[in-house]
Amino acid sequence: MPYTPENSYDNDQKIWSGEPVVKYFDPDLSIGEIIFHEMRRHPQLTAQISATEGTVLTRGELLANAMRLASYMRSLGLLQSDIVGIIGRNTTHMLAVAYACFFNGIAFHSLNITYDRDTIEKIYKVTRPSIIFCDGDEFEKVRSATAELDVKIVTMRNHPLDSIKIDEVVATPIEENFQPAKLEKGNDQTLAILCSSGTTGTPKAVTITNSRHILAGNYHLTTADVQYSHNTLDWITGLLTTITSGVFSTTRIIADNAFDPAFALRIIEEYKVTWTIQPPSSMALMINCPDFETCDMSSLRCYMFGGSRAALEVQKGIRSRLSHDCLQFVYGFTELGAMATINCHFDEKTGSVGQLVNGLKMKIINDDGESLGPDEIGEVCIMNNQHWSGYYGNEVETRNMRDSLGWYHSGDLGYMDRDGFLYIMDRKKEMLKYQNIMYYPNDIESVISEMPQVAEVCVFGIWSNIFGDEAAAAVVKKLGSELEAQDVVDYVRSRTDSKYKQLNGGAVIVDDLQRSANGKTNRMANKAYFLHLKNRS
């Protein structure tokens, strides 16, 4: 059975290739130019609906707002080498701010609202934005963190008395004969700067290239599509939604509340959402929501998830309520600036993150850097034949991430099967050893997820001088369920004879898992929390 799309494999070089890049827009056009013309071409279509603020904007209106904001930035004398800071929720004018940056060839650096003052100060000391758009909720924090920078701050909502309000800025007259700027460095120029997952100290400032690789896997979108993602612009998926909505002229549903599963389900039903992308944590919250079993999700035709592994039970739960077989596991990393693989074949390839998207190449390398063939486990490396400006102001980490030949070293261990489907085992650094036998936390997590009382789980290693990494678990039980920590330990013991895969370090029941700012489960943080609870008891 051939799987579409076809991935081809070079047996000599041991390199897999996705299909050729999709040709649609002129290769010289920047993302900003494409969005500008697409919005101009569709003036009467609905561009954005805020489910929380109740605002509705046509493409013509959104374009006008973006041009006003771009004209404002131009009036400030901002150059393409300047950076705009963004720390905010998906409020009515956030999309226009992003598009204004694209139209001006100016990269925005987007941070998560949960970052503390010191982290913000540390990060923005690197990129030194000239102006920051943030919610009034974080105004004091941001002002304090950027006190040493010469920076303007505009608030998007909940405006304090002494901030510049977005409504004032969006009233700027549009420059006469407004046209999007030509990028000084062409499409090698940086489009945006996001932060990598905070699993290793201070988040790194990841530059995202102005390339249409970010569109890969989404060329099926039409003007009939309604996209909803709760992810903000500091997530690669939030950026992806912002760009695809502009390029493919879809209707984007936004909400500026904290993620609420009941509300998300209502959005999908009310606005007949056809496309969504979520982290597994949101999926887990949704299937545990009382409304999940009754909500009408028949409009969904593309339900993507990624960023980390979703428990099989969660995947099955979501899938059971979809009218179309459209649950897709996507894999990528922020540095790539796009998705790497998509799995549209759940039944045949359960657990796989899928096949390469258009325009990419992949190899699996062992510890000696040698390329491996099908079914051999090694580090996943991706090539996209595109310029990358690296981590802003961090040459060392940039070289670690991408080698001189242009391969990104994902740091993830996995293998390709003989049909060209990728399976991710774990992060290379998160491989553990018990009595010198390697094992993966994910394997134990999969087992624990089978327990009907379990909503979410995170497994990590607790160091023992005698045994090495002893697996331990933090478990979130389902609402209304009865579950004790010992039940979890007992269940894992009953499911495997291998001593090293037992919960030798024990388990704790917690209200929620510790997460990074971008919603990914943070193993280090959960481990620290586990130890804290153990010490307390």
Q: Which residues bind a second copy (CB under 8 A)?
A: 23-29, 37, 40-45, 221-224, 248-249
The pair of three-digit structure tokens given for residue 467, joined into one six-digit string: 């045994």
Nearer to a second copy, 212 or 427 (CB): 212
Nearer to a second copy, 218 or 343 (CB): 218
Residue 99's alpha-carbon distances to 34, 91, 107, 228, in angstroms, are 11, 14, 10, 18
Name the residue with tokens 């899938």. Answer: 319
Nearest distance from C-beta of residue 324 to a second copy, angstroms: 16
Contact 382/376 with Cβ under 8 angstroms?
A: no
Alpha helices in 321-474 (DSSP H): 395-401, 441-449
Nearest distance from C-beta of residue 61 to a second copy, angstroms: 13
Cis ω for the linkage preceding 5 (within 30 of 0)? yes
Nearer to a second copy, 79 or 224 (CB): 224
Nearer to a second copy, 81 or 223 (CB): 223
Residue 349's alpha-carbon distances to 30, 340, 346, 438, 464, in angstroms, are 36, 17, 5, 25, 37
Nearest distance from C-beta of residue 210 to a second copy, angstroms: 15
Nearest distance from C-beta of residue 119 to a second copy, angstroms: 41
Nearer to a second copy, 271 or 467 (CB): 271
Neighbour-count burial for 52-72, b at 16+ CB within 10 Å, e otherwise: beeeebbbebbbbbbbbbbbb
Nearer to a second copy, 222 or 498 (CB): 222
DSSP per residue over 98-141, as a string? HHHHHHHT-EEEE--TT--HHHHHHHHHHH--SEEEE-GGGHHH
**What type of residue sits at position 6?**
E
Q: Count Cα neighbours of 83 within 13 Å in the Cβ-side half-sphere.
A: 24
Nearer to a second copy, 180 or 461 (CB): 180
Across the strands, what pairs with 456?
476
Report the 10 Å Cβ neighbour count for 529.
Answer: 18
Cα separation, 270 vs 265, whole angstroms: 9
Nearer to a second copy, 42 or 428 (CB): 42
Nearer to a second copy, 241 or 249 (CB): 249
The pair of three-digit structure tokens given for residue 98, joined into one six-digit string: 């992003």
Question: Cβ-count burial of 436 within 10 angstroms (0-12 exposed, 13-18 middle, 19+ buried)?
Answer: exposed
Nearest distance from C-beta of residue 285 to a second copy, angstroms: 33
Across the strands, what pairs with 30?
none
Nearest distance from C-beta of residue 81 to a second copy, angstroms: 25
Nearer to a second copy, 186 or 369 (CB): 186
Nearest distance from C-beta of residue 250 to a second copy, angstroms: 10
Alpha helices in 303-390 (DSSP H): 312-320
Nearest distance from C-beta of residue 29 to a second copy, angstroms: 6
Name the residue with tokens 């990060």. Answer: 123
Nearest distance from C-beta of residue 279 to a second copy, angstroms: 28
Q: Count Cα neighbours of 277 within 13 Å in the Cβ-side half-sphere.
A: 24
Contact 365/428 with Cβ under 8 angstroms?
A: no
Nearest distance from C-beta of residue 124 to a second copy, angstroms: 36
Nearest distance from C-beta of residue 95 to a second copy, angstroms: 19
Nearer to a second copy, 44 or 537 (CB): 44
